[in-house]
A and B are shown apart, each in its own frame.
Chain A
Amino acid sequence: MNLGEARPGEMVTVRKVGGEGATMRRIMDMGITKGCKVIVRKVAPLGDPIEITVRGYELSLRKSEASNILVEA
């Protein structure tokens, strides 16, 4: 499953960060790397972007970006 599909409140573990170039690098630079735990906090009122907790802080990213992040429950 990818991070975009995870439900609010769910804690997941990152398996792989796909995509390429600036977006992939940015996602990883922000601390979303293989093996780290991520909690999906909420979805924005209009359905996108989402908010997650990673490495102890809050991060928002669009679903399209989250869909490049493979996770497992």
Chain B
Amino acid sequence: MPHTIALAGNPNSGKTSIFNELTGSTQYVGNWPGVTVEKKEGYLKGDKRHVVVDLPGIYSLSPYTLEEVVTRDFLLDGKPDLIINVVDATNLERNLYLTTQLVETGIPVLIALNMMDILERNGDTIQVPLLSEALGCPIIETSAVSRAGLKDLVKTAVHMVDKAEGSGKVAKFSTPVEKALLQIEHLIDTLVPPDTLRWFTIKVFEHDERVMQRLNLSDQTAHQIATIIESVEKSMDDSAESLITNDRYEYLTGITAACHKKARKMGTLSTSDKIDRIVTNRWLALPIFFAVMWGVYFIAIQSVGDLFIGWIEWFFGDLIGANIALGLEAIGTSAWLVGLVVDGIIAGVGSVLTFVPQMMILFFFLALMEDCGYMARVAFIMDRIFRKFGLSGKSFIPMLIGTGCSVPAIMASRTIENQRDRRMTVMLTPFIPCGAKLPVFALLVGAFFPNSAWIASSMYLVGILAVIVSGIVLKKTKAFAGDPAPFVMELPSYHMPRMKGVVIHMWDRGKQFIKKAGTIIAVASAAIWILQSSSWSFQLVDTQDSILASIGRLIAPIFTPLGFGSWEVAVATITGLLAKETIVATFGIVLGLGNVAEGDPTLLASVGAFFNPISAYSFMIFTLFAAPCAAAIGATRREMQSAKWTWAAILFQTGVAYTAALVVYQVGMLLFGRGL
């Protein structure tokens, strides 16, 4: 059995950076508080005897957030041999606040005093031996960026694990609290392992729900404890929880005052403060914010990204697709297999991969904004608006990315700490019209509203409106009800982004999407192609005789009240599940026009058969809201981490789509239907 070393520390203390250096794996590096939500593991470089586990970034071991609970459970039940506590030297008190709690678990703690380079640059000093003495833990000074001290860190860690050296000194609380703790200790000391006794005692005193459940105290003991706590609370006129927190910080203030010298007085401005004065200035903040967002959008979606799309389409269509087709035909492959590979899989995967450049550029800027510290300010600036409809300031980024593609947008929601906000954001982001829906709108606008450019733009308005209304309504439901999550968020100092971290981060996210395109999308494309080109007896047939057409005929009546009850349109909605832009292609195929673009004049003329202007608009609305494409559903599943929530999202979206389209069509026909 290898020994386990747990890596714990505040968000932004440099935990991930240190983890990467220790284990040699490439991990995500961000500057957004609370980004590390998953548990990551890796062996010490070249040493299979020691596993390092990267715990979520946390500020405390309270029972209130998922990250904290995950960490607590791991420390108590996973029984790591050592905790390496990464401490941000430029933020000593708040970081050591966690340290004192880690020490109480009875596990040996080694402190990595990180960001020493910044500390030195600021001209501050820490007397490390003194600090180490006061805390009872060895301290190694490190800088994850210049790799200073990391060798020492590993050596000391391995040494401590081998010798199973004892734990640090626990924080001392005020006399009345200590007295109460001693009494509680006597009541529970038979119930818990001796080295965790201090931790359990304090948790019981704080009346920590989870620990109380775990200990399952007898009524008599519980009552005795309650009396002890009550008398202290009364005499000190404060709740037990805040007594502990206060005393803990007081204890730390005493320690840091002795060994931490700051060059800068409280209240004077650092460079970071000066940048912030401009960036979040009352008058400049919003213009700067919109300029940045527009710039990112313009570069990623419009100019550079769009350029790449052309290349990729050419690459998959003209180069790969055409040549493979020729090659397969040359070696005598049957026509249907060529069709399956070229028109099914390659075209399907290709159409999804066309978004990769846009996404990569978006992810690059996103990572840049996170790493330099701007992202937290985005949340700061936008919180006021988004909170109004049940989302948080951090929901803005996913929504913005959603105008390009829902997949990266849904993935970007990971930066939202609160689970409820995150779920709601994942659910509502697909309402923002993505790039793939635009050809559908363009086709129908071209056919029915050739002189009204605003019809296409109205989709954005309708989408945003739907997000707002859904937010307000969903907030009233049981699943999303409750007090708003606290928005007590650290605003990390600005710093120059580090390209290595930014690129790793970008690649990390982009990779997942490409993988998905290669797996789910490939299979789904193949399946839909088979359905649309073979009959029930698996003969190669035209689309109107295919399995898909018969399914289309079966479900078409569902869409009759929405104004588009033909099997062709029903089929298009099904293929739309694969990727929204295939809706246009499907019209082309079922109309016997082959693979045509949305501007094709014959196509424009022919879709007229399926719709009138009102049902065309109703169909646009349906496409806007209905369950997103397979890739986005996959991303939803990933971020929701639950099949139940994924289905809830799909049903909700489709429900909204159906209802909205129904209202549009029925009301529209009532008002304007006579002339049609």
Contact = CB atoms under 8 A, between A and B. Distances in A.
A51 B19 CA distance: 31
A51 B380 contact: yes
Contact of B487 (A11, A41, A58, A65): A65
A33 interface: yes
B491 A60 contact: yes
A51 B276 CA distance: 11
Nearest to B387: A62
B70 to A, nearest CB: 16
A60 to B, nearest CB: 5
B131 to A, nearest CB: 16
Contacts of B25: none
Nearest to A55: B93
Given A44-B383, A49-B383, A65-B487, A58 B245 contact: no
B336 interface: no
Given A30-B94, A39-B267, A53-B267, A22 B246 contact: no
Interface string A25-43: 1111111011111010111
B488 interface: yes
Given A45-B381, A46-B381, A55 B94 contact: yes
B172 to A, nearest CB: 16
A65 B488 contact: yes
A55 B95 CA distance: 11
Interface string B263-293: 0001100000100100011110110000000
B91 A56 contact: yes
A57 B384 contact: no
B64 A21 contact: yes
A60 B378 CA distance: 12
Contacts of A36: 249
Contacts of A53: 266-267
Interface string B357-372: 0000000000000000
Contacts of A60: 376, 380, 487-491
Given A28-B245, A42-B280, A62 B91 contact: no
B233 interface: no
Given A51-B380, A55-B94, A56-B262, A26 B285 contact: no
A34 B236 CA distance: 13
Contacts of B65: 22
A31 B93 contact: yes
Contacts of A57: 91, 94, 490, 493
Nearest to A47: B384
A24 B488 contact: no
Contacts of A51: 280, 380, 491
A61 interface: yes
A45 B65 CA distance: 29
A48 interface: yes
A44 to B, nearest CB: 6
Interface in B205-263: 238-239, 241-242, 245-246, 249-250, 262
Interface residues of B, number: 46
A66 to B, nearest CB: 10
Contact of A33 (B245, B266, B491): B245
B460 to A, nearest CB: 22
Contacts of A21: 64
B675 interface: no
A26 B488 contact: yes
Contact of A62 (B64, B487, B490, B493): B487
A46 B378 CA distance: 12
A63 to B, nearest CB: 10
Given A31-B97, A42-B282, A58 B384 contact: no
Contacts of A22: 62, 64-65, 486
A30 B245 contact: no
Interface in B491-524: 491-493
B385 interface: yes
Contacts of A59: 488-491
Contacts of A31: 93-94, 97, 249
A71 interface: no
Nearest to B59: A29
Given A11-B267, A30-B94, A44 B62 contact: no
A27 B486 contact: yes
Contacts of B92: 56
Contacts of A20: 239
A56 B266 contact: yes
Contacts of A23: 483, 486, 488
B64 A49 contact: no
Contact of B245 (A29, A45, A61): A29
A41 to B, nearest CB: 8
B466 to A, nearest CB: 23
A45 B285 contact: yes
B60 interface: yes
A57 B219 CA distance: 44
A57 B266 CA distance: 10
Interface in B39-66: 59-60, 62, 64-65
A48 to B, nearest CB: 5
B71 to A, nearest CB: 13
A13 B242 CA distance: 17
Contacts of A62: 383, 387, 487
A58 B491 contact: yes
A62 to B, nearest CB: 5
B384 A30 contact: no
Contacts of B486: 22-23, 26-27, 61, 65
Given A25-B241, A55-B93, A56-B266, A33 B384 contact: no
A30 B381 contact: no
A64 B262 CA distance: 32
Interface centre among B91, B242, B276, B381, by most chain A C-beta atoms within 10 angstroms, is: B242
A17 B91 CA distance: 22
B280 A44 contact: yes
Given A23-B488, A47-B384, A61-B489, A28 B242 contact: yes
B383 A29 contact: no
Nearest to A23: B486
8 contacts: A11-B267, A26-B64, A28-B246, A45-B381, A46-B381, A49-B487, A55-B91, A62-B383
Given A39-B267, A55-B91, A57-B493, 16 more contacts: A20-B239, A23-B483, A25-B60, A25-B245, A26-B64, A28-B242, A28-B245, A28-B246, A35-B246, A44-B383, A53-B266, A56-B91, A59-B488, A59-B491, A61-B487, A61-B489
Query: Which 4 pairs, one residue from A and one from B, show the smallest C-beta to C-beta distance?
Result: A46-B384, A29-B60, A22-B64, A58-B491
